[in-house]
Structure 1
Amino acid sequence: MTSCPPQKEQTESIGRQRGFSDFVVYVDESGDHSLTSIDQDYPVFVLAFCIFYKGHYFSHVVPQLQQLKFDYFGHDLVILHEHEIRKEKGEFTTFKNRVDKNQFLGRLSEIIDGSNFILASCVIEKNKIRNPDEVGNPYHIALKHCLETLYDLIIEKGQQDLETHVIVECRGKKEDNELELEFRRICDGENKYQRDLPFKIRMASKTSNSAGLQLADLVARPIGRYVINPEQANQAFNILQKKFYCEGGRCAVGKLYDQWGLKHFP
């Protein structure tokens, strides 16, 4: 006799008993963080934190994305990469026609729109930095901003005494070691609060078929495009607007997110 899977409330309760928060965070980036070679068409570096309630993540987000993959590719091994979708590379060369691709993009937009996650993002406007040598590593600057915003959120939710995992995609041994060192340095007190932050980094392989990492990949570039040209039509960003962490809580959703959930530097 098989037992039924635990309900959302039960699993969250077990997690709290083991010292884990109700949240999980998936991170991705857009653009490169070099300050010496700047792409004038995309002169920004974007870091995006997608913060999910675990219960909503495994009961809604994961099955929705899997169903999309089964419907359009016949299996769920496809990894959704914004660049490959936009350039129609790899698995994304199989669309029958433009209508078919637009229907796929429409389904994907509906899933993102219907997924309840909180966005914390930082955009480094590299072309506005006058003295690169005095700035330091743009990735580290963005990471600090996003971790501080994440801490603001968990304080608001009363979960600052529980551990929250932050999932980041591997980039290379040297880069991963530098990132992990910087992450720990920030969480060990090198932040605006000058206190320990209850976060733990987990590195995921690039081949990891993680729904959360794929969503983070999909949201990062539209944020960068918005900061570069806020007047340009940007349907993807319009969906993301109401997901940013904002000043004033739920009453200000979609409004007071500038320099809160969406930070830009300098």
Structure 2
Amino acid sequence: MEPIAEEFSQYIVFVDESGDHGLTTIDPHYPIFVLVFCILKKADYMHILSPRLQNLKMRHFGHDAVILHEHALRKGTDDFSFLNSRDKKERFMTELTQIIEELPFHLGCVAIRKNDLKETKNPGNPYHLALEAGLDQVDSFLSNEGVLGQKTHLLFEKRGKNEDGELKSEFWRLCEKNMEKGRGYPFDVVFVDKKANHLGLQLADLLARPIGLSILRPDQANRTYEVMKKKLLPKLLEKQEGRDFRCFP
């Protein structure tokens, strides 16, 4: 494989959320917003994650055009209707969990209890708060890895013209804010259409809700979280007790 151009880092980051970030009406069954940042080395993305997920799709669907989506997978709808068979679902979930467990990646995460946030004086936008805290986590990780002066791309799934425009503006505002501290974030943002069937974003989608459930229902069985918590950035585990890692203004 040809080496990566020197201006780009060896890492790539996939970002996705669980729950909506609105504070006007809060879902009593899921009153939380979670934003995850999956950090992979590009070599591991290309040579481990991509072939293993494609192989998983080929075995269980007969093709690799299907998009792995946590909601459809959990509900057993659309392409995942075959998971209504207990044996097939167990086999599929065991293989998928094994891929997540064996994949070398690091996971940044911000989880916000929206009811608690709403009670603060100036709650702000949960997505923007989570984005700022998450970018700090990713930046700290890359700095510790010696990735300085090289551009790292963060990939987000497209949500809509207005939503993407607002997110991009906030992203660059935070980059400029960090520049005022003496060093700008070495980041760039990329928006990917869901139809692109991007495997990195599918991984992020699969991880966000299990984190939310681990906070809301800590006693409930959650095998995805049990394997992925080993990937959480060390500083997250040091700063927070148990599974309740939260971000507030």
Structure 1 unaligned runs (5+)? 1-5, 248-253
Q: Distance in 2 between matches of 1:158 and 1:145?
A: 20
* Counterparts of 1:90 and 1:246, CA distance in 2: 37
Determine if the alignment matches structure 1 residue 219 to structure 2 residue 228.
no
- The residue aligned with 2:8 is 20
Match of 1:184 among 172, 183, 202: 172
1:112 to 100, 110, 130: 100
For 2:220, give the aligned amino acid. Answer: Q
Contact between 2:215 and 2:244, CA under 8 Å: does it hold in 1?
Answer: no
Scaled by the length of structure 2, the TM-score of the pair is: 0.93
Counterpart-to-counterpart distance in 2, 1:55 and 1:104: 25
Distance change (3 Å), C-alpha of 1:149 and 1:94:
same
The letter for the 2-side match of 1:265 is C
2:86 — aligned with what?
Answer: 98
In structure 2, the residue matched to 1:157 is 145
Task: Name the structure 2 match of 1:145.
Answer: 133
Question: In structure 2, how many angstroms separate the alpha carbons of the residues matched to 1:255 and 1:183?
Answer: 25
> Is the Cα–Cα contact under 8 Å of residues 52 and 116 in structure 1 kept in the other structure?
yes
- Structure 1 Cα separation of the partners of residues 35 and 159 of structure 2: 14
Aligned to 2:56: 68
Partner in structure 2 of residue 232 of structure 1 = 220
1:82 to 70, 73, 78: 70
Describe the SS at the equivalent of 1:181. helix
Which consecutive segments of 4 or more residues in structure 1 shift more than 6 A?
Answer: none
Residue 128 of structure 1, CA deviation: 1.2
Query: So what's the TM-score if we normalise by structure 1?
Result: 0.87
1:134 to 115, 122, 144: 122
Distance change >3 Å, CA 194–CA 88, structure 1 → 2 = farther
What residue number does 1:209 align with? Answer: 197
1:31 corresponds in structure 2 to 19
> Does the aligned pair in 1 maintain the 2:178–2:185 contact within 8 Å?
no
Which residue of 228, 240, 244 maps to 1:258? 240
Shift of 1:228: 1.4
1-side partners of 2:125 and 2:137: how far apart? 19
Deviation at 1:132, TM superposition (A): 6.0
Once the 2 structures are TM-superposed, how far is the Cα of residue 111 of structure 1 from its aligned partner? Answer: 0.5
1:82-120, Cα deviation, whole Å (9 max, x unpaired): 000000111001347210111001100001111111000
- What's 2:37 paired with? 49
Contact 2:82 2:88 in 1 (8 A): no
Give, in whole Å, the separation in 1 of the partners of 2:108 and 2:60: 30
Within 2, Cα distance between the matches of 1:177 and 1:70? 36
Greater shift in the superposed pair: 221-230 or 27-36: 221-230
2:76–2:84: 8 Å Cα contact kept in structure 1?
no
Distance (whole Å) between structure 2 residues aligned to residue 102 and residue 191 of structure 1: 48
- Of the structure 1 ranges 233-242 and 147-156, higher mean CA displacement relative to structure 2 is found in 233-242
Secondary structure in structure 2 of the residue aligned to 1:77:
coil
Q: How far apart, CA to CA, are the structure 1 residues paired with 2:60 and 2:97?
A: 15
Alignment gaps of 5+ in structure 2 = none
1:135 is paired with a residue whose SS is coil
Q: Percent identity?
A: 40
Flag the 1:109–1:225 CA change in 2: closer, same or farther, 3 A: same
Tell me: CA distance 1:262–1:113, structure 2 relative to 1, closer, same or farther (3 Å): farther
User: Quick check: 51-60 or 129-138, which moved more?
Assistant: 129-138
- Distance in 2 of aligned mates of 1:24 and 1:192: 25
**Aligned-pair Cα RMSD in Å:** 2.1
Residue pair 1:144, 1:191 contacting (<8 A) in 2 also: no
Code of the aligned partner of 2:28: Q
Q: Distance in 2 between matches of 1:158 and 1:130?
A: 38
